[in-house]
Amino acid sequence: MFGFLRKNTISDKNIAVYYLMQFAHSLIFSIPIWIVFYRRVITIEQISFLVGFQYFVQIISELPTGAFADILGKKISIIVGLLFFAASSLLFPFANGFNHYLVLAAFIGLADSFTSGSTEALLYDSLKQDNRESEFGDIVAKQGIVLQTGLVIGTVLGGMIYKWNIFAPFFLEGFFFLLAAGIALLLTEPDIDTEIFTLKNYLRQMKQGAKEAFKNRFLKKLSWFYIAVGSITWTAALYFNNSLMVDLGFADDIRGFLIGAMRMFNIIFLTKLLQNKKIFNERNSILFFPLLMIFSLLPGMFLQSWWALPFVAGSMAASTARWIILGRMTNDHFSSKYRATAISTLSMIIGVFFMILTIVSGPIIKFGTTRLMFTILGLITVFTVVPLGKSLLREIES
């Protein structure tokens, strides 16, 4: 059945399994409807708390799950994480209150911590064992396309399935998480381990990452710009965009089609455009973010019906651009030795602001719907991204 996976080297086999596993993992049919499902039984303040709490669990679990991966293997860690994902989805239809959802949010946070570092680490170690580690970036980029394609399929179908049966999207994605765990059984644990996960190594890594990300005046400004843009666009991408689409009143199936179409636009057109270094040189890239984010977020209070879609699409585009444009800039300016560590450090700081923004958003959304939160994010952009961008531009032009 899986004969096509029988490759000559460990890296060949693990790459093929990696793509299959990630595609099954990306078929998340609850994307367009999870907020509607939550709102049946809990308040918007509780939903906002759950989103932040889930990320909090992921962060505090990174150390113990990293140690777990080193003791029992990254393959086992990946499988356990996917099983946690499956359990959370399959149990969702049976949850009927905040306490139940709190447990499921913890499951998802644990699932993320088990899979996040282990998946890429196992792939990198496989490539390193075959002296192919230079191919890691290209393979991850291809995986990104596979992942986004699966997310589009899940998003488009999720709304339609939910309209037929409100529990079916969760059962279906739980099945595909189980399938992903089954596919992960085909992974081969590499013989080498590039980094043993210990508290000492973890703290050393964070220290080195902070030193690299903030080692001179230019990198301090670039890093804080990255953090400001990432904190705002990431919370919008993971929470506020979906919440706004619900507040705009689109039917569940229509909402799935619209979110899927905007995501597909990002994959097919926007990604190609953003990768054009002639158009998006460093100066234009810095100007791009405050302009797009202010345009997309600041008018939030006035958004209604179909004409709000360009603003939601703009918010999604800003999040995509952060990974492509600012990811490229940090790769260009951070030294290769500590690049991954520095970016991980910035992501951890973004995670802290993510938790703060999502948790405090509950009363704001209750008072004025997600439209008000969009406008507040626009104002935060004006007072953080704009001055940081101006300061960074002066460094680039000097």
> How far apart, in whole angstroms, are the C-alpha atoms of residue 111 and residue 81?
4
Closest CA to 231 of 108, 378, 347, 393: 347
Instruction: List the structure tokens of 14.
Output: 């693990």
Residue 2 has pLDDT above 70, yes or no: no
Residues 20 and 204 sit within 8 Å (Cβ to Cβ): no
May I ask the CATH architecture of the domain 1-193?
Up-down Bundle (1.20)
Q: What is the pTM of this model?
A: 0.84
> How far apart, in whole angstroms, are the C-alpha atoms of residue 99 and residue 254?
31
- Residue spans of the domains in the chain: they are 1-193, 198-398
CA angle 135, 140, 142 (to 5 degrees): 100
What is each CA distance from 210 to 32, 102, 205, 226, 304, in whole angstroms? 36, 32, 9, 14, 42
The CATH H-level superfamily of 198-398 is: MFS general substrate transporter like domains (1.20.1250.20)
Residues of 26-39 as b/e, b for ≥16 C-beta within 10 angstroms?
A: bbbbbbbbbbbbbe
> How far apart, in whole angstroms, are the C-alpha atoms of residue 163 and residue 167?
10
The full DSSP string for 74-99 is: HHHHHHHHHHHHHHHHHHGGG--SHH
Model confidence at 349, in pLDDT bands (50, 70, 90)?
confident
For the chain, what percent of residues have pLDDT higher than 70?
93
Calculate mean pLDDT across residues 56-79. 83
Q: Would you tell me how many other CB atoms lie within 10 Å of the CB of residue 4?
A: 8
Model confidence at 139, in pLDDT bands (50, 70, 90)?
confident
pLDDT of the residue at 107: 95
Model confidence at 60, in pLDDT bands (50, 70, 90)?
confident
More confident residue, 23 or 349: 23
The answer to whether 1-193 and 198-398 have equal CATH topology is yes
Mind listing the pLDDT tens digit for each residue in 361-373?
999 998 878 999 9
Mind listing the pLDDT tens digit for each residue in 252-287?
889 999 999 988 888 777 777 777 778 888 889 899
Residue 81 has pLDDT above 70, yes or no: yes
